Structure 1
Amino acid sequence: MSEPCFDVAHLGHVELLTDKFEESLDFFVNVYGLTEAGREGDSVYLRAWDDYEFHSLKLTASNTTGMAHCAYRTSSQAALERRVAVIEKMGLGIGWTDGDLGHGRSYRFNSPDGHVFELYWDTHKYQAPEAERPALKNVAQRFHGRGAAPRRIDHFNLLATDVSKIRDFMVEALGSRVTEMIQLDNGRIGGCWFTVNNKGYDMACTEDHSGTRGRFHHLTYAADHRDDILRAADIFLENGVFIETGPHRHAIQGTYFLYVYEPAGNRIEIANAGARLVLDPDWQTIVWTEAERKKGQAWGLKTIESFHTHGTPPVAKGGTNP
């Protein structure tokens, strides 16, 4: 195998679009339990209580839904420059930005399916105001217990017309490792799970059965315990939030999960932070067959049909995503 590459340190943030801005913001702050860190233009910057950076979710008012961009922080300025050189040779570059409230200068580029990615090094680390100052100095913000109150951003899932192209892209552009994948009977790759560090995964990509490019599947924040997932289910129930599936445990990666739709229709997950770490430096990708995946999740729950059809933005009439 090639030498592992750790130029990219971790997932930094995701920008989600919403055509129901006030309703979405209320969900993320008061029901899901994130904290507003700042505002600029049509965007609000949100964070979980132990995210060390200024924000992990940029929520932007729009006439559509889905993901505007995803962002990773590199391990150094030199690492950022190395990754940019690789990406430009791949012919996927968009160019440099001046950054925003959450970070400094960044480099944007496209995935083979048209998703917008961003890499940056200079970041704005969160400085808790008096009202959010924690009792312990080794956490970023006090635990307020508002809503589901996840601890940190964990991962996101993209949809793509050809997962194999995303696999090759993530390995070459970001230096990701593929920890697990689904191999379909027809020879296509149905899904891949990627990591740039020692987490089990920070990004997943699954096949878009609608044939539409560049869509978004879900964003996930992590809580400390599986009991937090059960508590979140009751909170969502009491607040009229649509629960799509769960609580249950995934077969792939082993996380305890709960999926809901925020008011604009973007799928949001809360999962436990205690999922497996990949410490093996020459980890061999776990390959799941189509027959194995048809057995459902870890305890036998069948994967709900909407998990294969619902994504944002919705496809045009005549597609498979209503």
Structure 2
Amino acid sequence: MIQLKDVTYARLGSSSLEEAESFATRCLGLQVSERSRNSLYLRSDERAHTLCYFEGDPADQTIGFEVENESDLNEAATTLDALGHPVHVGAAAECSARKVRAFIGFKDPSGNQIELVVRPEQHGRRYFASRDAGITGFSHVGLNSTNPVRDEKFWTEVCNARVSDRIGDIALMRVNAIHHTIALAPARGPGIQHINHQVQSNDDVLRSFYHLSEQRVLIVFGPGRHPTSGARFLYFQGPDGMVFEYSVGVDEIEDEESHRPRQFGFEPTSLCMWGSKSKRAR
């Protein structure tokens, strides 16, 4: 079984790095870590970067997950190849671009581009936000799924993800104590459905609601509260249609033995207990 430790980064193709940087700093509240001719690296916590925009097709989207060491990485490559998931071994220049010691890339059953990485770089200086959004770190990702039942089996049987709760057939899965690291979202094709950052307080969620509204950023869901994780949330749209989320108060599951996933119906009240409704279907 592939032992995932945490979600590490998102890599997004961008039609305009200038627009991406403006949004990431003026609206989202990340810190620019590094700029190159064709890439923009952004921080949200102690890591050297958790989001990278690069010049390219916005449909080119990748999520990275950390594994413990290169031995685990090699075992993962063998497992994936045996299951019919062709593996790309990162060359030195590719590892440098991702700021990791080593990585492999593959596609999950829905075609999402996934990378497993070893030793992602940390930063010696503390994260300093470009605006007071209250961000404490990159926390989870929503992945498009063309078959949530099939994809749940991949993430829980091939990898070490555990189901925390389900909404219909949609699994919310964790790889550590936090309620979910991966949320599956029904879709017609692969892609990142949303990128989540945790913030410090309810006030941060509401302050950002007003700030983003003033900046004419499209609010797609919230403010609200998820009955599954208990998190208070706000979803909003960034460049090239990517959806970002702020949330606070997400549950943690410390007792693995006693936890049993709950089943919620596939209906609006399973997504928000306050009554907020999504303004966009993805």
**Is this a same-fold pair by TM over 0.5?**
yes
- The one-character-per-residue Cα deviations of 1:119-147 (angstroms, maximum 9, x if unpaired) are 1112221122xxxxxxxxxxx334x4615
Cα deviation for residue 67 of structure 1 reads: 5.2
Q: What is the match of residue 219 of structure 2? A: 243
Q: Distance in 2 between matches of 1:229 and 1:82?
A: 41
1:223 Cα deviation after fit? 0.5
Q: CA RMSD in A?
A: 2.0
User: How many residues align structurally?
Assistant: 277
Residues 30 and 130 of structure 2 are in contact (CA less than 8 Å); yes or no, is this contact kept in structure 1?
A: no
From 20, 24, 41, give the equivalent of 1:24: 20
Q: Whole-Å Cα distance in 2 between the matches of residues 198 and 81 of structure 1?
A: 26
SS in 1 for 2:139: strand
| Unmatched tracts of structure 2, length 5 or more | none
CA contact (8 A) 2:209 2:223 kept: yes
Partner of 1:288: 264
| Residue in 2 that maps onto 1:256 | 232
Q: Secondary structure at the match of 1:287?
A: strand
TM norm structure 2 = 0.90
1:75-128 CA-partner distances (Å, limit 9, x unpaired): 233332332232222111322103134212201111111111111112221122
- Kindly tell me: are residues 77 and 28 of structure 1, through their superposed partners in 2, closer, same or farther at Cα, counting changes over 3 Å? same
- Secondary structure of the residue aligned to 1:295 is helix
Residue 299 of structure 1 aligns to which amino acid in structure 2? M
**CA–CA distance in 2 between the matches of 1:74 and 1:53?**
15
Query: Which amino acid in the other structure matches residue 46 of structure 2?
Result: Y
Larger Rg computed on CA atoms: 1
- What residue number does 1:316 align with? none
Cα 1:145–1:124 change in 2 (3 A) is: closer
- Rounded Cα–Cα distance in structure 2 between residues aligned with 1:105 and 1:301: 45
1:93 is paired with a residue of what secondary structure? coil
Q: Does 1:197 align with 2:176?
A: yes
Where 2:173 maps in the other structure, the secondary structure is strand
Matched, 1:232 2:208: yes
Q: Which amino acid counterpart does residue 86 of structure 1 have in structure 2? A: T
Distance in 2 separating the partners of 1:13 and 1:172: 23
Cα separation, 1, equivalents of 2:61 and 2:36: 16
CA distance in 2, matches of 1:55, 1:83: 24
Whether the aligned pair in 2 keeps the contact of 1:6 and 1:75 (CA below 8 Å) is no
120 and 303 in structure 1: CA distance in 2 versus 1, 3 angstrom threshold: same
Asked if the contact 2:17/2:40 (under 8 Å) is kept, the reply is no
Structure 1 unaligned blocks of 5 or more = 129-139, 184-188, 311-322
Query: For residue 48 of structure 2, what is the aligned residue in structure 1?
Result: 54
What is the alpha-carbon distance in structure 2 between the residues aligned to residue 145 and residue 109 of structure 1?
33
- Specify the alignment match of 2:250 in structure 1: 275
Task: Spell out, residue by residue over 1:205-257, the C-alpha distance to the aligned partner (whole angstroms, 9 max, x if none).
Answer: 1111xxx3213211111111111101111211222211112111112211111
Between stretches 83-92 and 296-305, larger displacement belongs to 296-305
For the structure 1 residues 299 and 12, does the alpha-carbon distance in structure 2 shift closer, same or farther, using more than 3 Å as the test?
A: same
Q: Is the deviation greater in 232-241 or in 34-43?
A: 34-43
Match for residue 148 of structure 2 among 145, 156, 163: 163
Deviations 1:10-47 (A, max 9, x none): 11001122223311211101221111112345221111
Q: Summarize the Cα distance change of 1:233–1:66 in structure 2 as closer, same or farther, 3 Å threshold.
A: farther
Whole-angstrom CA distance in 1 between matches of 2:202 and 2:60: 27
Relative distance call for 1:216 and 1:6 in structure 2 (3 A) is closer
Q: TM-score, normalised by structure 1?
A: 0.80
